[in-house]
Amino acid sequence: MLKLRVALACALTLGALSPALAQDTQRLRTDKAEVIVETVARDLQNPWGLAFMPDNRMLVTERAGRLRIVDANGALSEPIRGLPKLAVRGQGGLLDVALDPNFAQSRLVYLSYAEDRGEGRAGTSIARARLSEDGKALESLQVIFRQEPSYTGGNHWGSRLVFDREGNLFVTLGDRFDLRNQAQNPENHIGKIIHIKPDGSPAPNNPFLNREDARPEIWSIGHRNVQSAALNPSTGELWTVEHGARGGDEVNIPQKGKNYGWPVISYGVDYSGKKIGEGTKKEGLEQPVYYWDPSIAPSGMAFYTGDKFPAWRGSILVGALSGKLVSRLDTNGNRVTGEERMLQQLGERIRDVRQGPDGFVYLLTDSHNGRILRMKPAT
The 10s digit of each residue's pLDDT in 246-305 is 999 999 999 999 999 999 999 999 999 999 999 999 999 999 999 999 999 999 999 999
Mean predicted lDDT score pLDDT of the chain = 94
Closest CA to 80 of 134, 17, 161: 134
* Residues 124/125/129/135 CA torsion (nearest 10 deg): -10
Looking at residue 21, what is its pLDDT? 36
Catalytic one of 156, 195, 223, 243: 156
Q: Is 195 a catalytic residue?
A: no
So where are the chain's domains? 2-377
Compute the average pLDDT of residues 171-193.
Answer: 98
Q: Give the span between the Cα atoms of 7 and 243, in whole angstroms.
A: 19
pLDDT grade for 241, boundaries at 50, 70 and 90: very high
CATH topology of domain 2-377: Neuraminidase (2.120.10)
Looking at residue 23, what is its pLDDT? 59
Q: pLDDT at residue 338 above 90?
A: yes
Answering whether pTM is above 0.85, one says yes
Four-residue CA torsion sign, 207, 209, 213, 214: positive
Q: Where are the alpha helices (DSSP H) in the chain?
A: 8-15, 103-106
* Residues 143/115/112/132 CA torsion (nearest 10 deg): 60
Strand, coil or helix: what is 14?
helix
Q: pLDDT at residue 52 above 50?
A: yes
Closest CA to 36 of 364, 349, 342, 371: 342
Q: How far is CA 203 from CA 74, 90, 170, 371, in A?
A: 37, 31, 9, 36
List the 34-44 sheet strands across, edge first: 25-29, 34-44, 370-377, 361-365, 350-355
Looking at residue 379, what is its pLDDT? 81
The 10s digit of each residue's pLDDT in 83-136 is 999 999 999 999 999 999 999 999 999 999 999 999 999 999 999 999 999 999
